Amino acid sequence: MAKTKLLANQPRNLLIRGGRIVDPSQGIVAIGDLFISEGKIAWLNAGRGGPLPENCRVIQAKGMVACPGFIDLHCHLRQPGFEEKETIATGTRAAAIGGFTTVCCMPNTNPPMDKAAVVEYIKSVAAKEGAVRVLPVGCITEGRKGEKPADFGELFASGAVAFSDDGSPVSDSNIMRSALEFSRDSGLPIIDHCEDLALSQGGVMNEGSVAAKLKLKGIPAAAEESMVARDIRLARLVCGRLHIAHVSTAGSVKLIRSAKEEGISITAEVTPHHLTLTEEKVIGYNTSAKVNPPLRTTEDVEALISGLKDGVLDAIATDHAPHTARDKDCDFNTAAFGISGFETALGSLMVLVHRGNLDLAILISKLTCEPAVILRKNDIGTLKPGAAADVVIFDPNKEWVVNPDEFVSKGKNTPLASSVLKGKVMATLYGGEVVYKDESVKLEPLSKQIGVKGG
């Protein structure tokens, strides 16, 4: 695999030439040029903008796709408190390599994001050390203990973009009701990790024949679905904004579909690993495939893909969960849950496109404009003129081998090690600056280009 570079402070005028521009926010799928000036999208499609300045640089994107930078609604940057697993610096650099220009970091840190001071700390570190935009998600309960609601107003004022106790469910229905009431008034979504702990307690993988064969305690689909059903009822009761995290079962898809048909304000996300892997990956006691919610069955995967296609599932989120080798190199029952997902997300998802399971424009929509709608941010996830120049350029046909030792993320825990993926991010721009590019991608002055003219 070609070596990679992380760059910054590049010239503010850049032409991406001859790529396949895909922007679902505008319904655009066309071969053309994209011009960026002073950190903003200036115009797309040659001939529609003004003349190009002499200090313009050019990226030749023939055969590649240029689209809005990906938005991840759900990741774990681990800082503060678990810097041995990941930091904001390493996590956002890994995100850039994966094509993500906006990431929403979950609050299961130490201390957790239940106070304005923690949110402000994360924003400060991200401003100094982050390679891409970091949006903090505040806690639903104090200390994520599930006992007392956090101060939603304080967290809202400090810049939290959503609320969640991710990693833990909100088991107390009255607290969940209060959170949803605040979401109705503030417009910020409540992101719930749906898990009935009484049903899942002690479980380490999907409940079924594979778990029985391996003599491992399973987590039934009902553990997720019962909490999804409860949350839907509460959202209906108070007209709150509910977002279901990492949907993994066919039953959950059915419940969400019915709720949407009823007009309840509900959105949902699914991860790359739940879309592409099954419980079979656990065979051999493969701890890199231990994740919560667990990898499910082929039937569940098919339902999740269908849910993406028909709009029941609104977004694809990585649930990037980096761990140390010590966390995973142990007995399956004691190994940590989680997969490091930033750097393999696109490559793993492109298998759905290459197999004909999912249209490329739908895939990109679920990674860009639809997550932006959930966050109610209209200046990201789009290539509209005047929007922030967050752009990813990827080669949909480039094959590469997953080598966790080459990950920028501190988390090397992936079930995709040694897999050959088809589809690779070649460059990522954040605010018009090249924060990542593959070494094979040339960034050249306009003067070296033949036939490049202003509009």
What 8-state DSSP symbol labels residue 342?
Answer: G
Task: Report the interhelical angle of 116-129 vs 88-97 (nearest 10°).
Answer: 60
Terminal CA-CA length for the chain: 37
Q: At what angle do helices 250-262 and 298-309 cross, to 10 degrees?
A: 30
Q: CA 290 to CA 35: how far, in whole Å?
A: 43
Per DSSP, the three-state class of 238 is helix
Query: 430 with 133: CB under 8 angstroms?
Result: yes
Task: Please provide the DSSP assignment of 127-162 as one string.
Answer: HHH-SSEEEE-B-SBGGG-SSSB--HHHHHHHT---
The reply to whether 319 belongs to the active site is yes
Q: What is the dihedral of CA 265, 191, 229, 211, to 10 degrees?
A: 140
| DSSP, res 253 | H
Answer left, alpha or beta for residue 333, where phi above 0 means left and psi between -120 and 50 means alpha: alpha
Asked if 216 and 202 touch (Cβ cutoff 8 Å), the reply is no
β-bridge mates for residue 36, sequence order: 14, 41
Q: Which helix (H) or strand (E) holds 220?
A: none
Distances (CA, A) of 18 to 62, 129, 262: 5, 33, 44
Identify the three-state secondary structure at position 62. Answer: coil
Which among 319, 327, 390, 438 is annotated as catalytic?
319
| Residue 314, helix vs strand vs coil | coil
Catalytic residue numbers read 319
